Amino acid sequence: MAAPINISPAIRDDVPLLFELVMALAEYENLAHAVSGAPEDLEKYLFGDHPKAHAIVARIDGAPAGFALYFFNFSTFLMKPGIYLEDLFVLPGYRRRGIGTAIFQYLAQTALAKGCGRFEWSVLDWNQPAIDFYMSKGAVMLNDWRTCRVAGEALEDLAVND
């Protein structure tokens, strides 16, 4: 019999673990060089006076197996909040054991409990295993939309230029 999967909101004591999981995700996506934050940043934005995001941790037999980080956004057309899944990651040794499904179910339940009209995320175009998983959960790919981003020096320039 498979060990039960426990999904729970992250607590402040989980910050070092969350940072390790973020780094494992960054390695998987070949983006470790892009991580510029530190555990202190996670603690501030997840558990500070004005939290900006939420995290959940998946465990099997008490051992960390994965995590998800999400935040609430708002749809002007639906006129309802939504959940945006920033990241979901399951450690390689725990894949294909239902953890991703359990995380998705938890987030869908959270979305409905909070009156959200949608649950959305982005996926790297090369990550076919993730795309296949998302499609199996009823996701629709929005191929007409492109992600736009202004960050770093460009963001600073935009903030001060006329």
The pLDDT of residue 3 is 82
Q: What does residue 50 show for φ and ψ, rounded to 5 degrees?
A: -130, 80
Decide if 65 contacts 91 (C-beta within 8 A): yes
Given the residues 28, 45, 84, 134, the one annotated as active site? 134
Domain that holds residue 103: 5-160
Q: Can 134 be counted among the known catalytic residues?
A: yes
With 80 as the cut, is the pLDDT of residue 132 above it?
Answer: yes
Number of domains in the chain: 1
Yes or no: say if 93 and 64 are a contact pair by the CB < 8 Å rule: no
65 Cβ neighbours under 8 A, 6+ residues apart: 5, 58, 59, 90, 91, 94, 97, 99
Q: By C-alpha distance, which of 27, 31, 9, 16 is closest to 103?
A: 9
- How sure is the predictor about 162, in pLDDT bands with cuts at 50, 70 and 90? low
**CATH label of the domain that carries residue 137:** 3.40.630.30
Q: In the Cβ-directed half-sphere of 26, how many Cα atoms lie within 13 Å?
A: 13
Categorize the per-residue pLDDT at 136 as very low, low, confident or very high, splitting at 50, 70 and 90: very high
Could you tell me the pLDDT band of residue 75, with boundaries at 50, 70 and 90?
very high
Orientation angle between helical segments 39-47 and 15-28, nearest 10 degrees: 120
**What percent of the chain lies above the pLDDT cut of 70?**
98
Q: Is the pLDDT of residue 161 over 90?
A: no
Q: What pLDDT, on a 0 to 100 scale, did the predictor assign at position 68?
A: 98
* pLDDT one-digit tens code per residue, 88-102: 999 999 999 999 999
In one-letter notation, the amino acid at residue 107 is: L
